[in-house]
Amino acid sequence: MSEQHSEQHHIASPTLYLTIFAALMICTFLTVVAAKIDLNQYFSGLNIIVALTIAVFKASLVVLFFMHAKYSPKRTQLVIIASVFWLAIMLFMTMSDYVSRSWT
């Protein structure tokens, strides 16, 4: 094989997992609380922005630590980035059609 990943199999510690779990719980709590407050009055759509930001943060924690992406070979990280990127292409470019229809 040409590209060797000679790095040892990384083993994360249970304390790390527990910390991540705690962070996820706090985020879950936060996202419920944030939803109960009317943030849209400050900035239209702020509620969903906050909710999704928290969700992205939570997902990143899961991917990086529970799924060990942080310690994975580059090509695994590339796969992750690619799938998120393709998801973004779809959402962004499709919505760009609908959003710009009323522009003149």
Q: In 3-state terms, what secondary structure has residue 28?
A: helix
| Cα–Cα separations (whole angstroms), residue 102 to 79, 84, 91, 96, 97 | 36, 29, 18, 11, 10
CA distance 23 to 32: 14
In the complex, the smallest distance separating the C-beta of residue 16 from another protein, rounded to whole angstroms, is: 9
In the complex, the smallest distance separating the C-beta of residue 14 from another protein, rounded to whole angstroms, is: 6
In the complex, the smallest distance separating the C-beta of residue 25 from another protein, rounded to whole angstroms, is: 7
CA distance 26 to 19: 11
Q: Which residues sit at the interface with another protein, rule CB under 8 A?
A: 1-2, 5, 9, 11-14, 17-18, 20-21, 24-25, 28, 31-32, 35-38, 40-41, 44, 47-48, 51-52, 54-55, 58-59, 62-63, 65-67, 72-73, 75-76, 79-80, 82-84, 86-87, 89-91, 93-104
